[in-house]
Amino acid sequence: MQDVSKSLYTNELINESSLYLIQHAHNPVKWYPWNENVLKFALDNNKILLISIGYSACHWCHVMESESFMDEEVALLMNDNFLCIKVDREEHPDVDQLYMEAVQIINGNGGWPLNCFALADGRPFWGGTYFPKEKWKMLLNQIILLNKQTPFRLVEQANLIKNGILNNINSFIQNKTENTSIDFNLYYDTISYQFDNNKGGSINAPKFPMPNLYQSLLHYYYISNESEVISHIKLTLNEMAKGGIYDQLGGGFARYSTDVDWKIPHFEKMLYDNAQLISLYINVMRYEKSDCYKTIILETLNFLENELQSKNGMYYSSLDADSEGIEGKYYIWTNEEIRENLGKNTEIFNSYYNVTEQGNWENKQNILYLSDNEDYILKKYNLDKAQLNEIIRHSNDLLLKERKKRIKPSLDTKIIISWNSLMIKALIDVYSAFGDEKQYDLAKRNINSILDTYFTEDGKLLRIKDNRNKVIYALLDDYAFFIEALLAIYQVDADPKWLKTAKELVDFCLNHFYDESKGLFYYNSDFDDKLFLRNKELIDNVMPSSNSVLYNCIHLLSIILDDSNYKLIVSKGIQLLLNQIEKYPAAYSNWLRLLMTKEKKFYIVSIIGENAKEYAKLLSNNYLPDSFILFTQKESDSLHFKGKYVVNKTLIYICSESECYEVYENVDDAISFLKKKVSL
């Protein structure tokens, strides 16, 4: 990034609040933000658009800025021939999705920075990702020439790409009318083909943590009891925790590993990864009572509190991969630096974390990661485990203190509702697992903050709220993840307003996002449609797709509220995607969770009586993906409690959609019933 104190240039991005946009505010390129006025100007003046998309923690975005966007010769080409728009993909993921799909059609792959050329109406005709300076200049000149000599070719190409995007959307959605049995074992076999059985995760690099996929596998293990499934899940979590992808000093996970062993991270840290990984480690810990997992959870929670939490309790979006213009500089160590700080404990520390004189990374630098050599260290240095743990703890503290003196990676202070909703869910999971009231209070506070300050007067949710009155309306993922968070907190405190709000938001989505004619939900609403077409986010990736999250929530509400319309909507949506789920189960992992919930028995656990909250807490500390917990301490006329109150007793009623079972007074008996495996 440039030194803005010495910059001769300022463009329209100076008025933005996005860190990524501000980072480009002093480029000689005349950047404009993505907004209605800029798009109207382009259309009125028939300007070719150059849309460049990235995010603040993106290393290669910074590289291209330094090489090309700070170059005056390149800027002159761009300014004289294009209307140049910079987009923060975290502010406008709907924009990013469409232009990413266009670039994938053109090149077969995508990534960031994403650079797309489009007609004045926004239809893309060419694009790519990172370009070195000379290739970028060559591409600019080619497009300038084409626009002068054969502009109709650009229109033809734009039409082809638009049709390609529409065909992709339609190819995903195929109504499956025949009645076929769902073979979850076959789905698992397809997914497991890509397993790395030595280091966990997938067999190829780079390796991304995929918490959503592993939540689905955990659910499959719950209904199948296949030991190899839980073994692979634990292997993956163990290897990630030992790797350089996990910050061994400060806690928290980097976005991905560049190698197959989880050792070498791409150092940016994202809120959405860490929130989801907390929830995953907690669910696996419900099977494997591991001190290591608890440590990872608490350290990651501590990282989020120290590094990403705002003063009002909500969470910022990310930490950059770079500091002082160098990737990973904040996190890496030379052997000399370690020796200066640790003295006599250096050798033990280096053995523990694989530090060498030559360095285990680039330029004699070391990334801290663990190997399976603890027994060797204990024997070599004549230590017991408690002594080794104390040496490592003390050494970590010393190096962490030293690290805090360094220049930190830049912090992106966007507060994004969908990502914060994932974090609210993680806080509820921590509360359920450990009984930590602080995390429940914070989750409740953040939900109320969203309800109080992130809604417009006419009831529309905002995705981001800044101090410049910039309006970025919420997208489907913001609604879906927030509804999921509301249903999570409702299970632990039974406040009816959470359930009421969840239903209201689902109905809002049905009114403003739902495709009534074809089914499924658009990613952007009908009142915030500035794009050349409306896309549908269906594929589950690092984060589950907004459609799959919302459909899981609607399915839960259909059972809790006994709502037949919701049930029809869920059934229709699943039928539309069943062919895709069968072909590519790993890419539809959260849809698989919905299928497992829908095809197997799902239980409503209704607890009523004086000890109902305590019983609910004991139940929620178990992994019960096929159950939803409701409780009340008083007599109630609501659907699942009417006529069930008995004076001086706390009773646990377990019902499915079609029948009710034995009433329990003992929590352990109820848990035993719920954990009975259903044979596949």
> Hey, where are the domains in the chain?
4-172, 206-412, 601-680
pLDDT at residue 675 in the model: 86
pLDDT digits (tens, 9 = 90+) for 348-358: 999 999 999 99
- The CATH H-level (homologous superfamily) assignment of domain 4-172 is Glutaredoxin (3.40.30.10)
- For residue 292, the tally of other CB atoms under 10 A from its CB is 14
pLDDT at residue 167 in the model: 85
C-alpha–C-alpha distance, residues 442 and 105, integer Å: 43
pLDDT digits (tens, 9 = 90+) for 388-438: 999 999 999 999 999 999 999 999 999 999 999 999 999 999 999 999 999
Peptide bond between residue 151 and the one before it cis (omega within 30 degrees of 0): no
Confidence of residue 56 (pLDDT cuts 50, 70, 90): confident
pLDDT digits (tens, 9 = 90+) for 577-601: 999 999 999 999 999 999 999 988 8
Q: What is the mean pLDDT of residues 208-235?
A: 96
Cβ contacts of 369 within 8 Å, gap of 6 or more: 242, 243, 244, 248, 262, 263, 353, 354, 360
pLDDT > 50? residue 680: no
At 9 the three-state DSSP class reads: coil
SS3 string, 512-534, reads HCECCCCCCECCCCCCCCCCCCC
How far is residue 330 from each of residues 206, 223, 326, 458, measured CA to CA in Å? 21, 44, 9, 45
Confidence of residue 679 (pLDDT cuts 50, 70, 90): very low
- For residue 458, the tally of other CB atoms under 10 A from its CB is 6
Tell me whether the CATH fold assigned to 4-172 matches the one assigned to 601-680: yes
pLDDT digits (tens, 9 = 90+) for 523-578: 999 998 778 889 999 999 999 999 999 999 999 999 999 999 999 999 999 999 99
For the chain, give the number of residues.
680
DSSP 8-class letter at 246: B
Q: What is the mean pLDDT of residues 458-480?
A: 89
pLDDT at residue 288 in the model: 83
Burial class (CB in 10 A: 0-12, 13-18, 19+), 180: exposed
pLDDT > 50? residue 141: yes
C-alpha–C-alpha distance, residues 87 and 54, integer Å: 7
Share of the chain above pLDDT 90, in %: 84
C-alpha–C-alpha distance, residues 580 and 583, integer Å: 5
- For residue 620, the tally of other CB atoms under 10 A from its CB is 21
Confidence of residue 217 (pLDDT cuts 50, 70, 90): very high
What does residue 429 show for φ and ψ, rounded to 5 degrees? -65, -40
pLDDT at residue 5 in the model: 44
CATH T-level assignment (fold) for domain 601-680? Glutaredoxin (3.40.30)
Peptide bond between residue 585 and the one before it cis (omega within 30 degrees of 0): no
DSSP 8-class letter at 487: H
C-alpha–C-alpha distance, residues 530 and 373, integer Å: 56
Cβ atoms 238, 200 nearer than 8 A: yes
| Averaged pLDDT of the chain | 93
pLDDT at residue 560 in the model: 95
- For residue 103, the tally of other CB atoms under 10 A from its CB is 23
Q: What is the mean pLDDT of residues 234-239?
A: 97
Conformation bin of residue 81: beta by default, left when phi > 0, alpha when psi is -120 to 50: alpha
SS3 string, 66-108, reads HHHHCCHHHHHHHHHHCEEEEEECCCCHHHHHHHHHHHHHHHC
